[in-house]
Amino acid sequence: MLLNGKNILVGVSGSIASYKACELVRYLQKKGANIKVIMTPSAKEFVGELTFRALTGEEVLSDWKDGKTGLEHISYAKWADSFVIAPASANTIAKIRYGLTDNFLTSTALAYDKNLVIAPAMNTKMYQNKATEENIIVLKERGHLFVEPAEGLLACKEEGIGKLADIEDIETVILYSIMPKPLKGKKVLITAGATREFFDPIRYISNASSGQMGYSLARMAYILGADEVLLISAPTNLKKPYGVNLINVISALEMYNKVMENINNFDIIIMNAAVADFRPAIKSNQKLKKDKESTTLNLEPNPDILKETGKLKKENQILIGFAAESENILQNSIDKLKRKNLDFIVANDLSNFSRDFYEGILISKDGKKIEIKENSKEEAAYRIFNLFLQQI
Ligand SMILES: Cc1cc2nc3c(=O)[nH]c(=O)nc-3n(C[C@H](O)[C@H](O)[C@H](O)COP(=O)(O)O)c2cc1C
């Protein structure tokens, strides 16, 4: 796991969302990170420090004078690989902008010499107030990383933007703050999901791909610093990865059109979607009736998105395909790589479908083969990027 062994300092400020920091701490611990928590004095009005002490087995410092030596704001800042403030109140954001150091959290933030990860949570009007907006702009200009709050029903019973971002989105930006940026300067397009080919208004042909690998690749492309990540996705049950632009499509034909509209703007194109080779020749406008003992569905071919992209590929573009094969995995994948003019292909058998463990082989156009065997699709995505980036 990418957070395994990383030191993460979690700063909690006073917000109705302060309790969500308990979940964040548990989540990051499960990912193998070492956690220390610091709280503003007002955060303690919302959630007890005992909770964080029990969760982390560490003292929870709060006043600027706290700690045995009084110099803990310096040692904590040095200890942290990443310092995330979640939730970040409007007040704490303003103090950090002006370099105030009136409590342990703000003192440590000033002593921290890397980019902070700041996850605001507040009422919409507080968030959209010019004062907060300006504070955020200034902090972003200084390189600090914000996890944009979500929209929804807020604790104040108003609808709007200001909810603390989802834990997974906060984790994404923590990873962004820690990981190297080999994709800086590159734009990455990824396809994912299982296309649906409807033969009446509610019934369709599809396949068992969960889309998880494609979504993990898109998330990883953002974490590794890509200038832009575009995910063109057929239906999945997955949430849009943070920092990624998403275009939803349903059928192979729609996916083909969206890929063709966009390919010229991207440097790296990764085709992970499980695209139906065929679609029903006729789509009924009415739900088909069960009025016969048996029936036949006529199919016609869909465009081959990978092959068409391979034909249009320019000198400076990298095209990566995936091959899920049930037999002769290696040979079939090498044939596909050649036939479709790919730079790399990731070959795997069908066992990766809908499970987290990932096993496959990265094959380059010059015939180099490297095994990939990872406990999660997140780690597999990281390894795939590292492996092919080393070879281009
Ligand atoms: C019930 C209640 C809920 C609050 N929720 C928020 C909030 O979600 N976001 C925020 O910025 N401030 C919120 N505040 C205001 C802050 O708690 C207040 O500005 C405090 O001084 C923040 O201190 P700190 O930044 O040092 O933690 C809330 C106040 C109360 C009484």
pLDDT string in tens for the chain (392-residue length): 899 999 999 999 999 999 999 999 999 999 999 999 999 999 999 999 999 999 999 999 999 889 999 999 999 999 999 999 999 999 999 999 999 999 999 999 999 999 999 999 999 999 999 999 999 999 999 999 999 999 988 887 888 999 999 999 999 999 999 999 999 999 999 999 999 999 999 999 999 989 999 999 999 999 999 999 999 999 999 999 999 999 999 999 999 999 999 999 999 999 999 999 999 999 999 998 888 888 899 999 999 999 999 999 999 999 999 998 888 888 999 999 999 999 999 998 877 666 778 899 999 999 999 999 998 999 999 999 999 999 88
pLDDT at 62: 97
Which has the closest alpha carbon to 376: 234, 233, 223, 217? 217
| Among protein residues, the one whose CA lies closest to atom 28 of ligand 1 | 15
Structure tokens at 222: 């953002």
Give the residue, out of 10, 12, 13, 15, with the most ligand 1 atoms within 8 A of its beta carbon, to mutate for a pocket test.
15
122 within ligand 1 shell (Cβ under 6 A): yes
How many CB atoms sit inside 10 A of residue 230's CB?
22
* Calpha distance 65→62 (Å, rounded): 8
Query: Cα 276 vs. chain centroid, distance in angstroms?
Result: 26
pLDDT at 354: 63
Residues in CB range of 127: below 8 A, 6 or more apart: 90, 120, 133, 149, 161, 162
From ligand 1's centre to the CA of 149, what distance in Å? 15
- The reply to whether 313 sits in an annotated binding site is no
- The reply to whether 287 sits in an annotated binding site is yes
Domains 7-178 and 187-287+295-390 are alike in CATH topology: yes
pLDDT at 192: 98
pLDDT at 134: 98
Placement of tokens 């730079």 in the chain: 343
Helices (H) and strands (E) in the chain, counts: 13, 19
Q: What is the CATH number of domain 187-287+295-390?
A: 3.40.50.10300
Provide the H-helix boundaries in the chain. 20-30, 49-56, 72-79, 90-98, 104-111, 124-128, 130-141, 167-178, 212-223, 252-262, 305-312, 329-339, 377-390
Please compute, for residue 59, the number of CA atoms within 13 A of its CA located in the half-sphere on the CB side.
10
- The reply to whether 140 sits in an annotated binding site is no
Active site residues: 156
Please compute, for residue 293, the number of CA atoms within 13 A of its CA located in the half-sphere on the CB side.
0
From ligand 1's centre to the CA of 365, what distance in Å? 57
Domain locations along the chain? 7-178, 187-287+295-390
| Among protein residues, the one whose CA lies closest to atom 17 of ligand 1 | 14
DSSP code of 354?
A: T
From ligand 1's centre to the CA of 286, what distance in Å? 55
Class of domain 7-178: alpha beta
Integer angstrom CA distances of residue 275 from 13, 156, 217, 270, 290: 46, 45, 17, 13, 28
DSSP code of 131?
A: H
Q: Give ∠ CA 165-131-13 in degrees, rounded to 5.
A: 45
pTM: 0.95
119 within ligand 1 shell (Cβ under 6 A): no
13 within ligand 1 shell (Cβ under 6 A): yes
From ligand 1's centre to the CA of 6, what distance in Å? 29
- The reply to whether 303 sits in an annotated binding site is yes
* Calpha distance 278→252 (Å, rounded): 9
Structure tokens at 292: 């016969």
